[in-house]
Each structure stands twice: as C-alpha cells, then as structure tokens.
A and B are shown apart, each in its own frame.
Chain A
C-alpha cells in the first residue's frame, strides 16, 4: 500500500480515527456536548480531507485504486461530500433531540449516538468507494449494523415518552429482521456471481458480464438477488413495506439519516455497479428496475394520499422520490443521465433533511416534563406528528412554517425550489431516453403528490377557529436548529433559482 493510496483513503482514515478517539473519550469523559463536538470536528476534518483528495485527483486525472477493494474517483468524492454534509446536519438535529431526552446523571448514554453516526458514515463512504463485492458487503453491513441501534435509540434517551420508546424499538427490530433477510439474499447473490465468474472484483465480473450467455444464467440470477438487496435498502416497491413503520418509529434525526445517507450511498453504489459492470446493456435488469420504479412512484404516492402522520407521509413520499430518481438512472450510461441522478440526489437529500429536520424540531419543542417523580417527558399534545398538530403553524411560528413550506414545495416540485430543477432533470432525461411509460408514471405520481403536499401546506395556513389569538404559542426551537433549517432553505432556494452553480460543480467531476 503506497503513500498515495493511503492519502486517497484519508477521509476514511480520519473517520476511523475519530471513532476510536470518541470511544476512548466517552470512556473517560462522559459529556454529551464534548462527544457532539468531537463528532462534528471529525466530520469537518473528513470534509476537508475529501477536498484534499479531490485536489490530488484533479491533478492526476485517473481514479486511484486502493488494494483492489476501493476505488476513489471524483464522483465518489462528490457523494461523500454530500453525505458528510448531511451527517453534519444530522449531528445538529441529534443534539437537539438528545439534549432533552437524556439525563446524563442516569444510565442513558447520548454519546453513543455520535459514535454510531460516525460508524454509519464510515460504512456509507466505504460503500461509495467500493470496487469489490467483499467491500460492498462489509461496508453495507457496517452501515446497517450501526443503524439498528440508532433506530432504537429512543430507548437510550430514557426520558423519552414511553410510547416513543416502544415505537423506536419496534422500528429497530423490524429493520433488523428484514435487513437480515435482504442481506442474506444479497450474500447468496454474491455467491452465485462468484460461482459464475470466479471473481468478486468489479473488473473481473465485468469481463464475465460482457460474455454473458443469452439465456437466464447463474450470473444473472446472482445479479438479480443483489439488486433485490439494493432495492430493499432503497425501499423500492415491492420491497418498500418496512419503510413507513421504520421511519415513523425511529428518532427523527435517524429517520433523516436513513432516508438521506442510507439511501444515497446505495444509489451511489448502484450507479457504480451499473457503470462498471456494463449492466445497462442487460435488458432484464433495466426492465426490473423500470418496473420497480413505476410501481414505486404510483404506490408510494397513493399510500401517502390520505396519510395523517407526517413522518409516515414523508416515508411514503421518499419511496416515490427514489422511483423518480430511477427514471433518470435508467437512461443508461450517459453523461446526462449521470448528471440528472446526481442533481436529483442532491435535491432529495437537502429536501428530505429539511423536512425531517423541521418535523423533528417541531416535535422536540412540544416536549414537556411531567410533574411526576419519574421526570419523563411527555408531549403536550396528543401527537406532534399528526397533521392536526400543524394546524395554524404559520401563525404560531412563521419562520419555521416557511422553511417547512419551502421543503414541501420542493418535494412537490414547484418552481423556484431545487425540487423543481430536479424534477425537470428527470423529465429531460426521460424524454431523452424515450421512456414514455416511466414519464407517464412520473406525471401521475407528481399529480397525486401535489395533493398531499398542498393539503399539509393548507393545514399549516388554517387558523384555529376557536382559539383566541393570545393563547397561540410560538414553537420554540434551539438556535442551532433554526440556523440549520434556514441554511437548508437558503440552499434549496439558491439552487432552485440558480441551478447553474450546482450543475457546474457536477460537470467538473
């Protein structure tokens, strides 16, 4: 392993070092704030490292292969950067979430959240860099294993409302079981691939794919099983069914994490897999993806239609959004399709982060300590995730509602938001690739989507009919959360109005 290779995986090394340091730090210094600070510093350092590696890459122009397991190129670094930034936002959200719910004097360990967050990031980044099925499996498992406890993290925050803890636990267990099933299938798929072509590195498999026989074969079955695993992680229909339960039960920052980093890393892997292995030329696989995409758009939007719980609604809408993204993905190995996928992913990550962030922060603000001796928190309202809670939000706290409204409009693909540009890209890509059926599904899905996004918006505008004006309390959220939301909204609007900035960045890859 040369120094150049070591330098190329600098972001991964920094993350690993940070994790190790945090382990020891938590062991000897129990402080929520310090742990958060370490995590943030590690993430920022990793971001800086990403830039550094990118600079080296732009000098040499060739991607760097590290030990046959990892391949570092510009596009992977772009994904990493995106996910690291998202992780930074999630760290902020998580801090706000845990601060109220954890009592350090007792047995809860809020510091573990940051540890797990960094582990998820390590897994996600390794997945993005993967160039070998072994590293794919390892990094995907690292990511998943770190996610299970995070999904159930409300239990650690032992001051959380009892019901929330139960839901959180349920979420973690469900994801664990289903994810184990999907991993098993994926592993079986890899075994079949190895059996068929005797290689596990992408280059070796690609050679075998090029000589693929024309009938259904062992290799194709293996690839399909692998595709099922990835489809599960992306919650594509028909493997979507876990999504609402897991998203609803998980703590909001973790929901944001699994929806952005968890899915984005898999999209990055899918992109590399299909590009490196030339899988676009196999009609069976693209056909499967197209079918899943259409089904996701329709089923996701239809399921969200009458949904009253905001987190479930966003979960269903994320199913549909990955469906949209696949439309761009499916136009094949073209620069434009690649660009469209990247742009839509950026839009999706920003918007989803903002939406779940806003929802989580609003819920945090509704927490109040009970008078009882246990000192547990309860929600001041029946449930802060129900749509009814958002009634008249615009009048209670206009800024917060404005940010959430911007997120919703972006999800709906209304102009002047990044979501519109993203959807425009999807359309352009679909038209370029002559994918008529998929485009029809996009149109129908968007139309249905408009209904529930706008209904939520309308709810926020409606004023409580009976409530007197002075009884309306504004929603109070922490400064860090507020700054985060405003900056996300700002980015959303800037890239929505001046998409050229982001397009140029993507082009330089």
Chain B
C-alpha cells in the first residue's frame, strides 16, 4: 500500500487530467474533420491513371527495389565496429598518465581482444571482397 495514492479520487484525477483529455478529443475531432471534409467535398474519379505515382508527367519506369551486394554492408559494419573502438583508445590516450600502468594493461587487453577478432575475421575471409566466389575460382 506504500505507493497507492492516499485518496484515490476520480474527481481530482479528472481535474488534473482534463486539459489532456480535451486536447485528445480536439486532436481526434480535427482529424475527423479533415478526413470527413475531404471525403465529402473532394471529387472522386476512377481513371486508368488514378493509382499511378505521379512523376512530373513522366510514366515511372522499373522497380525501386534495387539489390545491393551484401559486401557493402559487411565492410560498412566492420568499419563502424573498429572505428568505434578508436573512441575508447582516444579517451585512454588523453588520460594515459593518470591511469598509469593499470590503465596500460587494461588497454592492452582490449587491443589484444580486438586483434584476435581481426585475425578471426581475416582468416575466415570476411575481409575478402566478393568472398566465396573469388576463393572458389
């Protein structure tokens, strides 16, 4: 019962919340008004070209779905990952003297782990552009 409002009074609650409620209703009413007006006042027409996207009078060509090679994303992700690590190293470099030997050891561990990840990626061919196809050739 610790958290329960001492007197749960709907009246006071409404008193506190009424601007919000009025606002909510106003939003709803406005939307209804706009949609309703356009529905009643707007003209309706069903032509062959009604559903076509309008591009300055030029009929659109082809599909917008273009497939890009996954390797772009892979390289981008790798870049971001290793780029982010630089931030940590940069902040460590600034405080190099304050952190002392302990900081150095910690940073070394961090770098070693990164290095191990890099070796792993390299050995598994993640850095090879085109990946499988080239190696198999």
Contacts and interface: CB of A to CB of B under 8 A. Distances in A.
Interface of A: 20, 23-24, 26-28, 107, 109, 212, 214-216, 220, 281-284
A24 B123 CA distance: 9
B110 to A, nearest CB: 12
Contact of B123 (A20, A28, A215, A284): A28
B124 A214 contact: no
Contacts of A216: 3
Given A20-B113, A20-B116, A107-B132, A27 B123 contact: yes
A281 B120 contact: no
Interface residues of B, number: 16
Nearest to A112: B124
Contacts of B120: 23-24, 26-27
Contact of A27 (B1, B3, B4, B119): B119
B100 interface: no
A215 B4 CA distance: 6
A214 B5 contact: yes
B116 A284 contact: no
Given A27-B124, A107-B132, A283 B119 contact: no
Contacts of B48: none
Nearest to B136: A107
Contacts of A220: 3
A214 B3 contact: yes
Interface in B39-86: none
A23 B119 contact: yes
B36 interface: no
A282 B3 contact: yes
B15 interface: no
A27 B116 CA distance: 9
Interface in B113-129: 113, 116-117, 119-120, 122-124
A283 B3 contact: yes
A184 B113 CA distance: 27
Contacts of A24: 116, 119-120
Interface string B1-44: 11111100000000000000000000000000000000000000
Given A28-B123, A109-B124, A23 B117 contact: yes
Nearest to A20: B116
Nearest to B5: A215
Contacts of B6: 214
A31 B101 CA distance: 38
Nearest to A25: B120
A23 B123 CA distance: 10
Contact of B2 (A20, A23, A283): A283
A28 B124 CA distance: 9
Nearest to A28: B123
Contacts of A28: 123
8 contacts: A20-B116, A23-B119, A27-B123, A28-B123, A214-B3, A214-B5, A215-B5, A283-B4
Contact of A282 (B2, B113, B117, B132): B2
A214 B119 contact: no
Contact of A284 (B3, B112, B119, B122): B3
A212 B116 contact: no
A491 to B, nearest CB: 36
A284 B132 CA distance: 55
A23 B116 CA distance: 7
A282 B1 CA distance: 7
Contacts of A215: 3, 5
Complex A-B, nearest 5 residue pairs according to Cβ-Cβ distance, in ascending order = A27-B123, A23-B120, A23-B116, A27-B119, A27-B120
A222 to B, nearest CB: 14
Given A20-B112, A107-B132, A283-B4, 17 more contacts: A20-B113, A20-B116, A23-B116, A23-B117, A24-B119, A24-B120, A26-B120, A26-B123, A27-B120, A27-B122, A28-B123, A109-B124, A212-B3, A281-B2, A282-B2, A282-B3, A283-B1
